[in-house]
């Protein structure tokens, strides 16, 4: 990574990883349901501990009855820009490992980790599909749980706005300058051999 180009990786990786970023300016256009299902299909193939697959998805496409209910659960800051997205997806995870009949066997240590893997697959498939996905935790948990009728056994992990990139001029003035792909912390600050190094 260089100061001139914060999206240059230190080691060779597939460009898909650096092409992915989280814009806030979306074009407000519709996407076909099958297009969204392609993203969710990619998420379905994420790895999970013991193949439990704890992730669940609740979605709304813009200009549908579900859209207003789900977009209304975001905090006002996120609602302001996410209103331009084509779809909103909530990612949930089952906090428990279950028997085939649904009975709880034990708590799941990795449910959030596994749901995060599903989110990553969704975000990467979005790029492959000419779309972008912006994940966020800025939502009213109680309002989201009520709007989607989510049982207590499930954790609401994140909301994801999905769409095509739009004109940054549609954003609030304070967001326009930030509407560029950003960099990452250098790898040598994140990795240590043998023992943890803060």
Provide the CATH number for the domain around residue 122: 3.40.109.10
| Band of pLDDT at residue 172, cut at 50, 70 and 90 | confident
Task: Specify the pTM.
Answer: 0.93
What is the C-alpha to C-alpha distance for residues 104 and 107, in angstroms, rounded to an integer? 8
Say what the alpha-carbon torsion angle 145, 106, 122, 148 is, to the nearest 10 degrees.
Answer: -20
Q: Structural domain of residue 67, as residue ranges?
A: 31-166
Structural domain count of the chain:
1
Short-list 74, 81, 77, 72, CA closest to 26: 81
The predicted-structure confidence for 34-77, as pLDDT tens digits, reads as follows 999 999 999 999 999 999 999 999 999 999 999 999 999 999 99
CB 61 within 8 A of CB 86: yes
Nearest to 129 by CA among 167, 82, 162, 85: 162
Helix (H, G, I), strand (E, B) or coil at 92: strand
3-state class of 20 per DSSP?
coil
Tell me whether residue 42 is in a domain. Answer: yes
Residue 149 lies in a domain: yes
Average pLDDT in the 80-94 region?
97
Instruction: Give the model confidence (pLDDT) of 138-152 as tens digits.
Output: 999 999 999 999 999
Residue 4 domain-assigned (yes or no): no
Q: What is the pLDDT of residue 4?
A: 59
Cα 161–chain centre separation:
7
């Amino acid at each position: 990574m260089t100061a001139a180009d914060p999206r240059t990786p230190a080691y060779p990786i597939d460009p898909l990883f650096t092409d992915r970023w989280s814009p806030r300016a979306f074009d407000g256009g519709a996407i076909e349901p099958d297009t969204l299902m392609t993203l969710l299909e990619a998420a379905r193939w994420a790895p999970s501990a013991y193949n439990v697959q704890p992730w669940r998805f609740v979605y709304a496409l813009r200009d549908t009855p579900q859209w207003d209910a789900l977009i209304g659960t975001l905090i006002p800051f996120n609602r302001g820009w996410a209103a331009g997205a084509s779809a909103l997806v909530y990612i949930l995870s089952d906090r428990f490992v279950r028997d085939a009949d649904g009975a709880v066997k034990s708590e799941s240590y990795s449910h959030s980790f596994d749901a995060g893997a599903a989110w990553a697959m969704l975000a990467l498939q979005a790029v492959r599909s000419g779309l972008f996905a912006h994940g966020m935790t800025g939502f009213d948990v109680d309002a989201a749980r009520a709007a989607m009728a989510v049982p207590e056994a499930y954790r609401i992990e994140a909301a994801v706005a999905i769409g095509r990139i739009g004109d940054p001029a549609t954003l609030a003035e304070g967001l326009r300058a930030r509407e560029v792909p950003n960099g990452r912390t250098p790898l040598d600050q994140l990795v240590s051999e043998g023992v943890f190094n803060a």
